[in-house]
Amino acid sequence: MNRTKKIYQLLMVTLPLLSLALTFLIIQPASIIGYVLCALIGFTVYFFLWLIVGKIIPDYVKNLRKNK
């Protein structure tokens, strides 16, 4: 379990950076307002990824192990 915890911690650190970088690459803002919107979109994407990877999947795996 210690190994999976480290993987989750690594994902939680890299996901916001990846989501922001991808958002800036896709949209390529030209003004300050564009950068703010990109940051908001990037953190929204990160929030949903965090919700799926950090909360939903571990609970699902825990329930699968319980039901065996």
Domain enclosing residue 62, as ranges: 2-67
Structural domains of the chain, count: 1
Whole-structure pTM value: 0.57
pLDDT tens across 2-59, in order?
777 787 778 777 877 787 788 788 888 888 888 888 888 878 888 887 788 777 877 8
Q: What is the DSSP letter of 51?
A: I
Predicted confidence band at 1 (pLDDT cuts at 50, 70, 90)?
A: low
Tell me the CA end-to-end span of the chain in Å, nearest whole number: 18
Question: Are 52 and 33 a contacting pair, CB within 8 Å?
Answer: no
